Chains A and B, each alone.
Chain A
Amino acid sequence: MALARWSGMPALGDVPVQIDVDPYMDIDAYDAEGDLMVLNLGPQHPSTHGVFRVKLYLDGEVCIKAVPYLGYLHRGVEKLCEKLTYANVIPIVDKNDYVAPMTSEWGLVAGFEKLIGVEPTPRAKVMRTILGELQRCASHLLWIGTFTLDMGGAIGGGATVFMHTFREREAILDVFAELTGCRFHYNHFTVGGQRHDVPAGWGAMVKAVCDLLEARTEEYESYLTDNTVFKARTVGVGVIDRQLCLEHGLGGPIGRASGVDFDLRRDGDDYGAYGTVDWKVHTHTDGDCYARYLVRLNELRTSIAIVRQLIDGIPEGPICSLKQVKLPGAVKPKAKASMAYAAIETPRGELGTWVMANSERKLMPHPYRCKLRPPSLHAVSLLPYICPGNNVSDIVVTLGSLDPIMGEVDR
């Protein structure tokens, strides 16, 4: 299948590259003479945000076909889930989405709670919402930093933005460390609630971080939103169609930047304390890298607003609805052969847990099958659809804008 890849005068910049996007294209039939250059992007490359490899077939500098390879970070988390008890799995999934471990734990715990039939206490619900939103801020801050770093330091000279966003992320991690004792990999969530109660003075600390973040978000916006270089690299780059987003299950910031008006915090099962606060879902219709930046920046502001509304009104009461148990095996479901699926909105999109109770002979304290539905896997699976027709430099920016976390993709 010979495609008119160049027509007219490309140097004038008015003729786009014409390529049929077919992720299952037979590249050997297309390129029988072997003229295409094959470029391995990754697995160890800073722009791939972890150990991820894409095989790019290039005609000049234009990608014809992209074939992603996963599994470099596959650790068998789902097999481990079948061997460990419900309580023991939680610290394992911290390492899945290592940029947002709080929401990573929350996604798993939500599935287990639905299977076991436990409702978290009101105090735990509000606490979880605050932690989840602070984690979203931390994750989006890291994303803004690494995204601008992906553009080769053209923005703000070298790693300026990256250093600035890391400074604020550090303040959020200090808040988490005050609560749980860890900067990340918290092991804070338990089935029915949480492990640690609020220490004295924590509320004031959170409010100070909110003040800091609010001021600094304005600063990032002044760096980037009207920056000519930033816009030249992102506007119209890596456009994702709304229908493609839907079929690939992208509801997070990527889907919302492509016009999918969907947020599990509003549209999913009632979880956390999102029903009691005033907030709105941000969408954009362009679907390019710039739209994804705008959506994440607005989500950052929304998250700060949600935390502010909740921090003064944490209800009194127990932090966990189950008795504090010494033996992790004591936590197990009551019904036989039961299944459950629960999902929450993480900074990257829908994190779901599909879990089936183990009841071969008697009810066991570990799952029979536990499957995680990581949002990053769905984001990365778009690459064969959006890479063809783009330059390598744009592919790096597009991959950065998807914000994939390979620990979560490979599990």
Chain B
Amino acid sequence: MKACHDAIALCESLGLGEVDPEHGPLVPAERGRELAAGLKALGYDYFVTCVATHLPAVEATDDEPGVPERFLVAYRVRRMPKGHFAFRFEVEQDCPSMVAFWSGADWHEREQYDLVGVRFEGHPDLRRIMMPEDWEGHPLRKDYAIETRHFPWR
């Protein structure tokens, strides 16, 4: 499913650079709210999903500079009936929250915070959702081994 022309035109007018037909533009975190407001005005009301992926730091080598630890946060929205658009952020710690625009983003962002560890700036109620409140660590981070033992579960 390809992104819609009106949303691509919006990205061009905002100067967001290249728009992947399937996964949308890579948006600078500080422009996120501007884009979301524009999408809402175009009628992209239907919230699909929000996915965060932990990308661990890459150490510098002789040839290439290192990359710090970061998170890829991908959002998807729809416009009824066939419009479809996605956009992504690559952030080091804080991602702009989209709850003010799509209230359905609330639990998805809480889940990504809980499991992946990315923080959503401006989220009204950012607390754990799947894991117990006193859980340590974020299980979907790449440095969290699947065998990690936790009291009292072993």
Residue B35 at the A interface, CB < 8 A? no
Residue B152 at the A interface, CB < 8 A? no
Q: What are the interface flags for B7-32 relative to A under an 8 Å C-beta threshold, 1 for contact and 0 otherwise?
A: 00000000000000011000000000
Residue B41 at the A interface, CB < 8 A? no
The contact of A243 among B45, B108, B115, by CB within 8 Å, is B45
- Assembled-state Cα–Cα distance A269/B83 (Å): 11
Decide: A269 and B48 in contact? CB cutoff 8 A: no
Decide: B47 and A373 in contact? CB cutoff 8 A: no
Q: What are the interface flags for A45-83 relative to B under an 8 Å C-beta threshold, 1 for contact and 0 otherwise?
A: 000000000000000000000000011001010111011
Q: Which residues of A contact B80 (CB under 8 A)?
A: 246, 260-262
The contact of A24 among B49, B124, B131, by CB within 8 Å, is B124
Residue A109 at the B interface, CB < 8 A? no
Decide: A261 and B81 in contact? CB cutoff 8 A: yes
Do most interface residues of chain B lie in helix, strand or loop, or is the interface mixed?
A: loop
- Assembled-state Cα–Cα distance A249/B1 (Å): 17
Residue A378 at the B interface, CB < 8 A? yes
Residue B74 at the A interface, CB < 8 A? yes
Q: What are the interface flags for B33-48 relative to A under an 8 Å C-beta threshold, 1 for contact and 0 otherwise?
A: 0000000000001111
- Number of contact residues on B: which range applies? 20 to 34
Residue B95 at the A interface, CB < 8 A? no
Given A267-B82, A350-B48, residue A410 in contact with residue B130 (CB < 8 A): yes
Q: Which residues of B contact A308 (CB under 8 A)?
A: none
Interface residues in B52-90 (C-beta closer than 8 Å to A): 53, 74, 76, 78, 80-82, 86
Do most interface residues of chain A lie in helix, strand or loop, or is the interface mixed?
A: mixed
Decide: B51 and A369 in contact? CB cutoff 8 A: yes
Residue A247 at the B interface, CB < 8 A? yes
- Assembled-state Cα–Cα distance A162/B86 (Å): 42
A411: nearest chain-B partner, CB-CB: B130
Decide: A249 and B46 in contact? CB cutoff 8 A: yes
- Assembled-state Cα–Cα distance A352/B76 (Å): 11
Q: Which residues of B contact A80 (CB under 8 A)?
A: 146
The contact of A381 among B46, B48, B104, by CB within 8 Å, is B104
Interface residues in A267-284 (C-beta closer than 8 Å to B): 267-269
A255 to chain B, nearest CB (A): 9
The contact of A70 among B102, B108, B130, B139, by CB within 8 Å, is B130
Decide: B125 and A24 in contact? CB cutoff 8 A: yes
A-B residue pairs in contact (CB < 8 Å), sample of 13: A70-B129, A71-B131, A78-B140, A79-B140, A80-B146, A82-B140, A249-B48, A249-B49, A260-B46, A262-B80, A339-B22, A354-B74, A369-B140
9 nearest CB pairs, A to B: A248-B104, A246-B45, A373-B49, A71-B130, A369-B53, A249-B47, A371-B51, A74-B130, A354-B51
